[in-house]
Amino acid sequence: MKSRSLTVTGLAGVALAAVAIGLQSCSTVPVRLLAAPEIAGADFVGDKTCAECHTNISRAFPSSAHARIRLEAPRAAGQSGCESCHGPGSLHVASGGGAGKFIVNPGKDPGTCFECHRPTEAEFHLPQHHPVLEKHMSCVQCHDPHGFDIFKPAGGLAMARLNETCAQCHREQTRPFVFEHPALREGCSSCHNPHGSINAKMLTQRDPNLCLRCHAQVQGPGAAGRVYIGNIDHTSLLRLGTCWSSGCHTAVHGSNVDIRLRY
């Protein structure tokens, strides 16, 4: 597969280049790809040809951020969408179609996704990560590349139904609890990096500072240097370890017996 490079149109000057990724995520700016995945001997046929067989996908695709892609390969100037990620489709069409026949399937190999999403690829190389590189998972298990899920935000690819997506595998952590951890309302990614982390269990932080982002309270002058949580002095307790490993709040996702998240 040839290396592909990205340029973003509609930006005036180098000074605005830093916001390019943010604009892409909102699907407001077309993205030009200089090369598509390589399929030896195949030519580009265009999205209309793809739509003849993949009708349902073609109907949903305009709502996806990937629909903003414009392929600028010499053989396919101005083409957009399907072949930007799946490669030229003439041999696939001539063979009568079929899964994996003369076509690239990013759902089987994340390499195509990583051509544009290099920072995400780097996160999968961190010590703790979801096993995408090992091919035990794929990007499409968590992200909708075609736009079927109309409840996802304008970017089309972020996990708007974050907890539901995680619940497909992590049922014990996302099941209903009598006393829920309010952080779950913000989504699993409020504590976990879903791609990878240097910390155990893909936590964004590995010490009590993870909890103190929400739970620390600022007390009056008489409590200077003390850490209060829920009007209780936790200064000495924090020395025992993290809130969940010190034997206190071990039911970090929720508890059926204790409002303070204990088992």
The pLDDT tens digits for 203-247 are 999 888 898 888 877 666 666 778 888 778 888 888 888 888 888
121 in a domain, yes or no?
Answer: no
Q: Can you read off the two tokens belonging to residue 180?
A: 């829920």
pTM of the model: 0.75
Burial-class residue 220 by CB neighbours within 10 Å (0-12, 13-18, 19+): exposed
95, part of any domain: yes
Average pLDDT over residues 184-210: 91
| Helix (H) or strand (E) run with residue 171 in it | helix 171-174
Note whether residue 142 is domain-resident.
no
Distance of CA 207 to the CA centre of its chain: 24
Per-residue model confidence as pLDDT tens digits over 139-169: 988 888 888 765 454 444 555 566 788 888 9
Q: Number of structural domains, the chain?
A: 2
Domain boundary among 87, 104, 121: 104
Residue 11, token pair as written in the block: 């930006």
pLDDT for the residue numbered 103: 92
Q: Which residue range forms the structural domain that includes residue 208?
A: 162-255
Let me know: does 86 contact 57? Beta carbons within 8 Å.
no
Is 93 in the same domain as 167?
no
